[in-house]
Amino acid sequence: MSEAKRIVTATRQATDAPEEANALRPTTLDAYVGQANLCQRLQIALDASRQREDPMEHLLLHGPPGLGKTTLAHIVAGEMGTRAWVTSGPALSKGSDLVGTLTRMQHGDVLFIDEIHRLPAAVEEYIYPAMEDFKIDFTLDGGMHARVVTYRLKPFTLIGATTRAGLLTAALRSRFGITHRLDFYPPDELVTLLERATTRLQIDTPDPQALSLLAARSRGTPRICLRLLRRARDYATVKHGGHLDRSVVEAALDLEGIDEAGLDALDRAYLTTLGGTYEGGPVGVEALGATMGEDPTTLEDVVEPFLLQAGLLARTRQGRQLTPAGRAMLAP
C-alpha cells in the first residue's frame, strides 16, 4: 500500500477539498487549538514586533506532518497584517527562484518555506544574507567581466517548516530567532478542534462520544482528525441520513480499516512483519522496507513516528524492535 492511499496519512491528498480545508483553518492565534507554549511565545513576539513596527523574528517549526505548521505561518502573516508567500524547498531549484520571490515581497511580509531541509545548497547561500541583512548578492557576467550586484530587500519574516530538523545545516538553523518543535495533540484538544469543525461544516450536533472516538483514533494529528471527520460525515450522509453518532463513526472507521489504536493496514503490516518475519527485531528499516515492498523513507517518516510515540516500537543501535506493548498487540 502506498502512502497516497492511506486514510490516516498526514500528507495532503487530492481528495482533500481545498476550499473546505481553508474554511477549517484558523486565522488568528486565539482561534488556534493546541501548542500552548508555542502560541504564548508567538504572541509575545508578535506584540513586540507590532510595538516596534518591525517584522517578527525568523521562525523555524519542526515536527511530524499535519500538526499545523502551515496554518501558523498564515496566522503570523494575518496577525501582522501582511501577506504570506508560500513555497517549498524542492520548488526552489535555483537561486533565481528565491530571488524572484524575495524582490516582490513588501515590508513585513512572511515567506513560508515548507520542507526547508530540502533546499539546494546553492539556494541556501542566498538565504543567509537575506535573513541577516535583508539583502541578496548575485553575480552578473563571468570571468574577468564578472561583477557582484547587491539588491536591498524590504524587511521580512522567514518561516521554515520541516519534518526532519536534523537535516538542516547548522548555519541555516542558527539564523532563526525562534525555533520550536510541534508535538502530537492530546485527545481533549482534538475534541475541541472537532467541535469547531462540526460547526463550520454545518454538521448536526453530534454525539460527544463520537467526537471522542474520532480524536482517539487520529494519531494525535489535526489533519488526520479532520480527514476522518469528513469520511465519517460522508458515511453518515449516505448510510444514516446525516446522523453522526458513535455507532456510525465506528462503522465508518471500520470501513476505512482503522482500529481502536488508530492504526491502519500499513501500520499493522509493519508490526506484523517486525513481529513475525523478524521475531520482534532488532532489524534495520531497509530490511523491513524490502520485505514489505515499501520505501524505507516512507516507513521512517509516515509509519514510525506514531508507533514510537504510542510505545509500540523502539529504535535501538541494532535496529527497530518491538516493545512489550507492541508484542502484546500482536498476541492472539
The residue from 6, 9, 70, 198 that is catalytic is 70
Q: What is the CATH number of the domain that holds 282?
A: 1.10.10.10
How many domains would you assign to the chain?
Answer: 3
**Which of residues 239, 256, 273 is at a domain's end?**
256
8 lies in a domain? no
The residue from 6, 223, 227, 230 that is catalytic is 223
pTM (whole model) above 0.85? no
In the residue annotation, 173 being an active-site residue is answered as no
15 lies in a domain? no
125 shares a domain with 151: yes
117 lies in a domain? yes
**Which of residues 131, 158, 181 is at a domain's end?**
181
165 shares a domain with 52: yes
The residue from 109, 114, 267, 301 that is catalytic is 114
122 shares a domain with 46: yes
248 shares a domain with 112: no
206 shares a domain with 280: no
17 lies in a domain? no
In the residue annotation, 114 being an active-site residue is answered as yes
161 shares a domain with 137: yes
Compute CA distances 149 → 143, 144, 153, whole Å.
15, 15, 13
Q: What is the CATH number of the domain that holds 139?
A: 3.40.50.300
> What is the model's pLDDT at position 12?
54
Cα 146 to Cα 139: distance, rounded to the nearest angstrom: 7
**Which of residues 126, 157, 181 is at a domain's end?**
181
142 shares a domain with 72: yes
176 shares a domain with 55: yes
- Domain span at 302: 265-330
169 shares a domain with 301: no
41 shares a domain with 159: yes
324 shares a domain with 208: no
In the residue annotation, 69 being an active-site residue is answered as yes
127 lies in a domain? yes
191 shares a domain with 155: no
pLDDT, tens digit only, all 332 positions of the chain? 444 455 555 555 554 544 455 567 888 888 888 888 999 999 999 999 888 888 888 999 998 888 889 899 999 999 988 989 998 888 888 877 788 888 888 898 999 999 888 888 888 888 888 888 888 877 666 666 677 778 888 899 999 999 888 888 888 888 898 999 998 899 999 999 998 888 888 887 667 888 889 998 888 889 988 999 999 888 888 888 778 888 888 889 888 888 888 888 888 888 989 888 888 878 888 998 898 888 888 888 788 888 888 888 988 888 899 988 888 888 76
323 lies in a domain? yes
The residue from 9, 101, 162, 163 that is catalytic is 163
The residue from 69, 217, 233, 320 that is catalytic is 69
> What is the model's pLDDT at position 8?
58
116 lies in a domain? yes
Three-state SS for the chain is CCHHHCCCCCCCCCCCCHHHHHHHCCCCCCCCCCCHHHHHHHHHHHHHHHHHCCCCCCEEEECCCCCCHHHHHHHHHHHHCCCEEEEECCCCCCHHHHHHHHHHCCCCCEEEEECHHHCCHHHHHHHHHHHHHCEEEEEECCHHHCEEEEEECCCCEEEEEECCHHHCCHHHHCCCCEEEECCCCCHHHHHHHHHHHHHHCCCCCCCHHHHHHHHHCCCCCHHHHHHHHHHHHHHHHHHCCCCCCHHHHHHHHHHHCCCCCCCCHHHHHHHHHHHHHCCCCCECHHHHHHHHCCCHHHHHHHHHHHHHHCCCEEEECCEEEECHHHHHHHCC
> What is the model's pLDDT at position 58?
92
Cell matching residue 77: 502573516
83 lies in a domain? yes
Cα 94 to Cα 121: distance, rounded to the nearest angstrom: 9
Q: What is the CATH number of the domain that holds 252?
A: 1.10.8.60
